[in-house]
Amino acid sequence: MIEVRFFATLRTDRGKITQVPAEEVSTAGDLLRRFEIPAEEVAILLINGFHSKPEDAVKDGDVISLFPPVGGG
């Protein structure tokens, strides 16, 4: 399974966390499409804690974190 974590406004109607069978997706972009999130709404996409792009591959056991524009100091 792949674990997808949603943050900030991306939680609206999606909840905080969900699991996706690994065989149903091959890239992070597939996950965005699955959850109907336009790529431009994602400011930070982490795969296992490292900045990644929608075209990057995902595999069983990965944790994907999706953030809209957030920041501060």
* C-beta of residue 20 within 8 angstroms of C-beta of residue 35: no
* Cα–Cα dist 56/52, whole Å: 6
Nearest to 32 by CA among 16, 72, 40, 12: 40
Residue 46 touches other proteins, criterion: CB under 8 A? yes
Residue 48 touches other proteins, criterion: CB under 8 A? yes
Residue 49 touches other proteins, criterion: CB under 8 A? yes
Residue 68 touches other proteins, criterion: CB under 8 A? yes
Give the nearest distance from C-beta 30 to other proteins in angstroms. Answer: 20
Which residue, 9 or 26, is less far from other proteins as judged by CB?
Answer: 9
Binding site for other proteins (CB under 8 A): 5, 7-9, 11, 16, 43-44, 46, 48-51, 65, 67-73
